[in-house]
Amino acid sequence: MENNFDEITERRNTNCFKWDLDGGDILPMWVADMDFKTAPAVIQALAERTSHGIFGYSLTPPAFYKAITGWWNKRHGLSISKDWIVPTPGILPALSATLTGLTSKDSKVVIQPPVYNHFFVTIEHGDCQLVENNLVYEEGQYHIDFEDLDKKLAAPEVKLFLLSNPHNPAGRVWTREELQRIGDISLKNKVIVLSDEIHSDLVYKEHSHIPFASLGEEYSLNSVTFGSPSKTFNLAGLQTAYLFTENEELRKTITEVLQKQEMTLLNVFGIEGLIAAYEKGETWLDELRTYLYDNYLYLKTFCSTFLPEAGISPLEGTYLVWINCNAFGIHSDALAGRLLQNEQLRISPGSIFGKPGDYFIRVNIACPRSLLQEGLERLARELRKAGPA
Ligand SMILES: Cc1ncc(COP(=O)(O)O)c(C=O)c1O
């Protein structure tokens, strides 16, 4: 490997959300950012931009759009036109503007818990009502209840279906067949699909990311896709993302909201970071994926030896491992509290991802292996105290 992902970079006292929120000796394995330096090409591009010394308002240049279209083409085989792309300062702001534009008061939005906790907040802030199409957990794996989805999308107030593709926190990379069924049910019920593909570049082994928009023109026209280099290249602090849709009317409506909310200008460094990452970051990313998957295998081996009762969900994508702690008989809120207090370890309690997550935890494994090992030892010590129920 050219890149050394074992290297520990001190992040404390850098205003780091993950490390400085608690401070002290807390080992953070929660919020979805990585303890790795980004790709060298990105660091170099940002250093060059810094040396210019002037950081006034920035245009979003043609190279920005070219980098995005090139990336989706080479990494995911999806051909998108630059005209479909709308830059945004993050996926959550983009989702929020989309909800504002495409719903009215009391519209309903369907999600699939356990799912990314901020979806709940964004829908609430958008004055919409939430409808849950819970994923089904069977033999340690998640799948979609399509019958229930059809029923839920049939309600006339349901305007949008918000999909996490790949799925945070279940770690699923949805197959073409699954996505096609979602697409067909949505088309039949005239519900627009919002496909959040922020984790699309972090998929492993035999799994490949299927962009929702790649299913065919009809599906593409009935959807909006949300993308970003922020998870892939650890650039969340640069606040740079985008959405794209082939549907001109949807694009126009969302763009108008973004304009009204004064959210059309991007961060100078975010623009440079995205271009460098997408143009020159592929080798780094492929090495990162190998390292992350090895971390997952390390976690699995560790748990099969020291925590055999813990149910490790297969990690098809993302760097967030979803662990079933039902056997220990302790609610995830209580477990998270005990881990923080007794072991100085912060993980995400499954409860924040919706009721089906109550007895699960989510562990972020995007860190040097020595930190992962330390975190797992702390986790095991506390869970062994709880013991199997
Ligand atoms: C599924 C999903 N969507 C969106 C976000 C947040 O995106 P942004 O930081 O661009 O708003 C995250 C962050 O963890 C996520 O997991």
Which protein residue's CA is at the shortest distance from atom 14 of ligand 1? 32
Distances in Å between the alpha carbon of 181 and those of 114, 158, 176?
A: 20, 18, 9
236 lines ligand 1 (CB under 6 A): yes
Contact of 384 with 308, CB cutoff 8 Å: no
Query: 179: which 2 tokens?
Result: 């996505």
Distance 91 CA to ligand 1 centre (A): 6
Query: Residue 334, Cβ neighbours under 10 Å: how many?
Result: 12
The H or E element containing residue 345 is strand 345-346
Report pLDDT for 386: 74
Atom of ligand 1 nearest to the CA of 119: 3
Identical topology for domains 17-38+281-386 and 43-279: no
Average pLDDT of the chain, as a whole number? 97
Mean pLDDT (whole number) for 293-298 = 98
Residue from 99, 103, 172, 160 nearest 135 by CA: 172
Q: Which of 17, 91, 173 to mutate to test the pocket of ligand 1 (most atoms within 8 A of CB)?
A: 91
198 lines ligand 1 (CB under 6 A): yes
43-279: CATH, from 3.40.50.970, 3.40.640.10, 3.30.930.10, 3.40.50.300: 3.40.640.10
Three-state secondary structure along 299-311?
HHHHHHHHCCCCE
Distance 231 CA to ligand 1 centre (A): 8
Query: 183: which 2 tokens?
Result: 């697409």
Percent of residues, the chain, with pLDDT higher than 90: 97
Residue 49 CA, distance from chain mean position: 28
Mean pLDDT (whole number) for 106-126 = 96
164 lines ligand 1 (CB under 6 A): yes
Residue from 317, 69, 35 nearest 174 by CA: 317
Mean pLDDT (whole number) for 196-221 = 98
Distance 88 CA to ligand 1 centre (A): 13
* CA distance linking residue 291 with residue 306, whole number of Å: 22
196 lines ligand 1 (CB under 6 A): yes
Q: Does domain 17-38+281-386 have CATH number 2.60.40.10?
A: no
Residue from 275, 272, 269, 217 nearest 246 by CA: 217
Characterize the bridge pairing of strands 241-244 and 192-196: unpaired
Mean pLDDT (whole number) for 109-114 = 98
Distance 308 CA to ligand 1 centre (A): 31
Q: Per-residue pLDDT tens for 301-326?
A: 999 999 999 999 999 999 999 999 99
**Amino acid at the residue 279:** E
Helices (H) and strands (E) in the chain, counts: 13, 15
Using the structure block, give the residue that is written with the tokens 């964004």. 122
Query: 175: which 2 tokens?
Result: 């197959």
Query: Residue 308, Cβ neighbours under 10 Å: how many?
Result: 10
User: Which DSSP letter does residue 352 get?
Assistant: G
The H or E element containing residue 98 is helix 91-102
* CA distance linking residue 76 with residue 331, whole number of Å: 39
Residue 388: pLDDT band with limits 50, 70, 90: low
For residue 228, pLDDT over 60 is answered with yes
Q: Per-residue pLDDT tens for 30-68?
A: 999 999 999 999 999 999 999 999 999 999 999 999 999
Rounded to 5°, the CA angle 364-365-368 comes to 130
Mean pLDDT (whole number) for 276-305 = 98
The alpha carbon torsion through 350, 353, 357, 360 (nearest 10 deg) reads -20
Residue 389: pLDDT band with limits 50, 70, 90: low
Q: Which of 168, 200, 267 to mutate to test the pocket of ligand 1 (most atoms within 8 A of CB)?
A: 168
Which protein residue's CA is at the shortest distance from atom 13 of ligand 1? 32
Residue 258 CA, distance from chain mean position: 22
Residue from 166, 168, 153, 75 nearest 115 by CA: 168
Domain definitions of the chain by residue range = 17-38+281-386, 43-279
Report pLDDT for 290: 98
Q: Which residues contact 375 (CB under 8 A, 6 or more apart)?
A: 27, 29, 345, 363, 367
Distance 385 CA to ligand 1 centre (A): 34
91 lines ligand 1 (CB under 6 A): yes
Q: Which of 29, 115, 118, 224 to mutate to test the pocket of ligand 1 (most atoms within 8 A of CB)?
A: 118
Contact of 279 with 67, CB cutoff 8 Å: yes
Query: 110: which 2 tokens?
Result: 């369907």
Atom of ligand 1 nearest to the CA of 93: 11
228 lines ligand 1 (CB under 6 A): yes
Using the structure block, give the residue that is written with the tokens 């085989």. 77
For residue 105, pLDDT over 90 is answered with no
Mean pLDDT (whole number) for 188-202 = 98
202 lines ligand 1 (CB under 6 A): no
Atom of ligand 1 nearest to the CA of 94: 11
